[in-house]
Structure 1
Amino acid sequence: MRAPSTIHDLLRSAGDDLAGLIASDERLLRFARLAALVIVPLTLAIAFVVLGTGPEPGRNWLGDILGFDFTQVWLAGRRALDGRGGEPYDLAVHLENLKAVFGPDCRYSWHYPPFVLLPAAAMALLPYQAAFLLWTLFSVGLFTLALSLAARRTDAVLIGLAHPLVFCNLSYGQNGLVTASLLTLGALLVDRRPWLSGLCFGLIAYKPQLAALAPLLLLVTGRRQALLASVLTVAALCLASIAAFGWAPWHGFLETLTQTNRILLQQGGGGLEINASAFGAVRLAGGPMAAAWTIQIAVSLAAIGIAVRTWRTCADPNLRAAALLAASPMISPYVPLYDLAPIVPATLLLVMAARRTGALKPHERWLLIAAPATALLRPAMAATGISFGLMIGLATLACVAARALPRSAGHAPLRWTRAGSA
């Protein structure tokens, strides 16, 4: 009869601990710090050692391909260096090339604009494993820089690095951390260093669906220098790619635009359970294409409206940056889970705003407590047919909007101590 009592005690203790985290900013912060001190070294160790090396060339210690999605970046770069930059846009040829180098289980389609061949070719100058490890180090380093600029606190940066979406990007070899970093840097530097801000925004053009909102916000708020820098950056990238690799990649890219729509949206080629957009949520639940597009357009317009109003009316630059970061993934019909990475600095900026103006609100604490659940998003979405990724993305945007737009008062101060002194 002791086992039920023990289980009951454990559940009651867990419930008390959760209630304490919900009720107290200080307890939530202490818990997050302790968790980060364990999770960050473990994440980096797994990413660089277990997933980044292995006894077989091109395979990690689990027997999987090193970097999964990074394979085609490196291979596209190799083809560009060999004067065959148009090959990645021929799906049949691209799949055969992947199979020849990485084996038959490596099957990914290439949808990036041709100027992505510039960094891809630079990476392809190295052997694959060295290139993958360098890309991983670069992603973590740039993301750390962006979090540092957002928070200016060591403990806050560590907490951000502990987020499961960081590990998600590192394990896939994806570029979500770079996208989130450039969005964060661009948004935070827009008034102090407009030309550098525009450069950051322009570099995100490799993911047009995530880059589209920033120029609109620059336009409607009259930030002409940053907007001009963004446009010039994209133009320079396009011209550089033509000079380096000729017109063939651009011809192939334009021909694959309809193919991209068919593979990713109509057929759900990446997996319905990985798409965290409103469009993906409807398709995951079994809804028709017309309903998916209708709801996606409604969500996109709402996200754009929140971001535009925040940038026009909110005096806090951190909340403006958070609005851009939280809204950018929501306007796209295709948001793989790793591309939700901008919600990590968005949440951090939201917490920093709470630090300056008052305590976290209950719904903001719930958002922070739910963050670890993103580690289970893909299997949970596949098992239930419910887009929990979209829910977390919309919840982040809603929390930012609630604080950035009409304000409320009456909260006790949020008393953060320096890292290591709690």
Structure 2
Amino acid sequence: MRPLQKPLLMLCAICLAAQGGIRLFHELSDGTPFGGDFIGFWNAAHRVRHGDLAAIYDPDAWQQILSNMTGSISLSWFVYPPFALFGLWPLGDATYNEAVLAWSLVPLACYVALLVVLAKRSGLGIDANPASGNDWSQAQAYVVLIAFSLPFIGANLFSGQTGTIIAVLFLATAYFWPMRPVLAGICLGLLAIKPQMGLLMPFALVASGQWRIVAAAATTVLALMVLSTLWLGAAIWTDYFRMSLLFGHFVGNGYAHIQHLALSPYVSLQGIGMPATLAGLFQAAISVAVLTVIIQAFWRWKATRPDGKADGRLDLRFGLLAAGTLLATPYSLSYDTPLLMLSVIPLLARSWRDGWDGIELASVTALLALPYVQLLAVGWHVPFAFLALLLWFGVLYRRFQKETPAEPAVTAWGPMATDRKTAPTS
């Protein structure tokens, strides 16, 4: 890493940590319930625990319940499939404060742990290139890693949404993918609680021939559907699909209430005044382009190269998959950004070793600023979040293309890791 980039990186980490602390203090001291949208999840947990299911997927009844509790008209509809209620059931007898504490901290602990182990696999903080003059410690690298996650964690934590939970399942799928396909499939199956976040996964699995993961994921989803039907009754699926169609209608019309949170092209472009048909065409074109990249990245992937060494680009493949998921779905919001750390890890590990180039530095800066700037950018009629994400995806793909399969692997991805104590050759 270049000498000037070191203090700038640590200054960025300090600023992100300070901003996160200030925001947390503000959220805890402003007198309003912490967690925002969690009020909807807590109500769903309470009602499923006590057998009062009718209102959960009834739009009018649900809006009335939430508006009575919050004193305002809420649009936090419950659009998660019935088997998501399995995860909420344990919170049904907790007070709001107890429930929001568990909802916030348990996934957060799992998330940070997964970030650390995945970063370790990517070689963050080790294998420094002597020519770059990088003499910083590995501990400092992980401080920067956690600091980089703060904007994305905050975008989810303070909204009380599911972004961290979804990211945990996605990261766990990536962690188990190379060596534990059944566990990877189970985590992927659980990701069905928010199906659009698994939109690209089937294509990556088929392209790489990961049939055991496919089978485990399909079995998990089928088991969840059967068990939830036995528990809650078949009629709840009719109510769920009715609620989903109504919510899809709002999203299809641009859903003005979430335009300031939008990441995906479709809603973002409507937010700056683009007609729905044209925004849909842009969404389709970008989704096809992203899908093409994902299939190329995972095509006939193997854990080891023909020479027996581990695939050193698997973390970049997963990075493309994570960033591409938020672009390919027509409905992704700022609280889904914890998933982006799976794409930050491989580039941070490489840049820590060799330094950032100009476009990488610009793109990571835009990405870290995304949760803050997009709130202003909508008023300026600029789809900043979408453009920052698109630039980031392009930078990841550029890095993936630069690293050829013939290069020695410098990460521990795959069952046959190389000796990471040896500095990589250029």
Q: Does residue 317 of structure 2 align to residue 320 of structure 1?
A: yes
Scaled by the length of structure 1, the TM-score of the pair is 0.82
Q: Which amino acid aligns with 2:278?
A: A
Q: Deviations over 1:359-392 (max 9, x none)?
A: 4332112222334422423322222111111112
Aligned counterpart, 2:94: 126
Q: Deviations over 1:185-237 (max 9, x none)?
A: 21232111111111221111111111121122112211011111111121222
Q: Which amino acid aligns with 2:323?
A: A
Q: Does residue 24 of structure 2 align to residue 67 of structure 1?
A: no
Query: Would the aligned equivalents of 1:89 and 1:111 in 2 still touch at CA under 8 Å?
Result: yes
Q: Does residue 33 of structure 2 align to residue 33 of structure 1?
A: no
Query: Would the aligned equivalents of 1:279 and 1:296 in 2 still touch at CA under 8 Å?
Result: yes
The gaps in structure 2 that reach 5 residues or longer are 125-138, 302-310, 405-409, 411-426
Aligned counterpart, 2:420: none
Q: Deviations over 1:218-266 (max 9, x none)?
A: 1221101111111112122222222332223212111123201112231
Query: Would the aligned equivalents of 1:144 and 1:157 in 2 still touch at CA under 8 Å?
Result: no
* Displacement after TM superposition at 1:150 (Å): 1.7
Give % identity: 23
* Range 360-369 or range 387-396, more displaced: 360-369
Within 5 A, what are the aligned runs for 1:140-159? 140-152=108-120, 154-159=139-144
- The separation in 2 between residues aligned to 1:367 and 1:26, in whole angstroms, is 20
* Range 177-186 or range 113-122, more displaced: 177-186
- The separation in 2 between residues aligned to 1:155 and 1:230, in whole angstroms, is 37
CA RMSD between the two structures: 2.6
Q: Does residue 247 of structure 2 align to residue 260 of structure 1?
A: yes
* Displacement after TM superposition at 1:355 (Å): 5.1
- The separation in 2 between residues aligned to 1:128 and 1:353, in whole angstroms, is 43
* Range 399-408 or range 247-256, more displaced: 399-408
Cα 1:327–1:26 shift into 2, 3 Å:
farther
Residue of structure 2 aligned with 1:213, choices 188, 200, 220: 200
- The separation in 1 between residues aligned to 2:80 and 2:386, in whole angstroms, is 24
Q: Does residue 194 of structure 2 align to residue 204 of structure 1?
A: no
Within 5 A, what are the aligned runs for 1:295-314? 295-312=282-299
* Displacement after TM superposition at 1:35 (Å): 4.2
Q: Which amino acid aligns with 1:383?
A: G
Aligned counterpart, 2:417: none
Higher RCO structure (Cα 8 Å, ≥6 apart): 2
Query: Would the aligned equivalents of 1:326 and 1:393 in 2 still touch at CA under 8 Å?
Result: yes
Query: Would the aligned equivalents of 1:176 and 1:338 in 2 still touch at CA under 8 Å?
Result: yes
Cα 1:25–1:136 shift into 2, 3 Å:
farther
Cα 1:129–1:269 shift into 2, 3 Å:
farther
* Displacement after TM superposition at 1:37 (Å): 5.0
Query: Would the aligned equivalents of 2:156 and 2:335 in 1 still touch at CA under 8 Å?
Result: yes
Aligned counterpart, 1:195: 182
Aligned counterpart, 1:364: 360
* Range 364-373 or range 275-284, more displaced: 364-373
* Displacement after TM superposition at 1:98 (Å): 1.3
* Displacement after TM superposition at 1:50 (Å): 4.7
- The separation in 1 between residues aligned to 2:226 and 2:298, in whole angstroms, is 32
Aligned counterpart, 1:54: none
The gaps in structure 1 that reach 5 residues or longer are 1-23, 52-59, 409-413, 415-422
Cα 1:371–1:378 shift into 2, 3 Å:
closer
Q: Which amino acid aligns with 1:366?
A: A
Aligned counterpart, 2:103: 135
- Larger fraction in helix: 1
Query: Would the aligned equivalents of 1:281 and 1:387 in 2 still touch at CA under 8 Å?
Result: yes
Q: Which amino acid aligns with 2:143?
A: L
Query: Would the aligned equivalents of 1:89 and 1:253 in 2 still touch at CA under 8 Å?
Result: yes
Query: Would the aligned equivalents of 2:141 and 2:352 in 1 still touch at CA under 8 Å?
Result: no
Q: Deviations over 1:37-56 (max 9, x none)?
A: 56447636854x653xxxxx
- The separation in 2 between residues aligned to 1:126 and 1:297, in whole angstroms, is 43
Q: Does residue 374 of structure 2 align to residue 397 of structure 1?
A: no
Query: Would the aligned equivalents of 1:160 and 1:345 in 2 still touch at CA under 8 Å?
Result: no
Say which SS state the counterpart of residue 172 (structure 1) adopts.
coil
Aligned counterpart, 1:14: none
Q: Does residue 337 of structure 2 align to residue 340 of structure 1?
A: yes
Cα 1:157–1:313 shift into 2, 3 Å:
farther
Within 5 A, what are the aligned runs for 1:204-283? 204-283=191-270
**Number of aligned residues:** 378
Query: Would the aligned equivalents of 2:263 and 2:386 in 1 still touch at CA under 8 Å?
Result: yes
Q: Does residue 274 of structure 2 align to residue 287 of structure 1?
A: yes
* Displacement after TM superposition at 1:151 (Å): 0.9
Q: Which amino acid aligns with 1:303?
A: V
Query: Would the aligned equivalents of 1:203 and 1:234 in 2 still touch at CA under 8 Å?
Result: yes
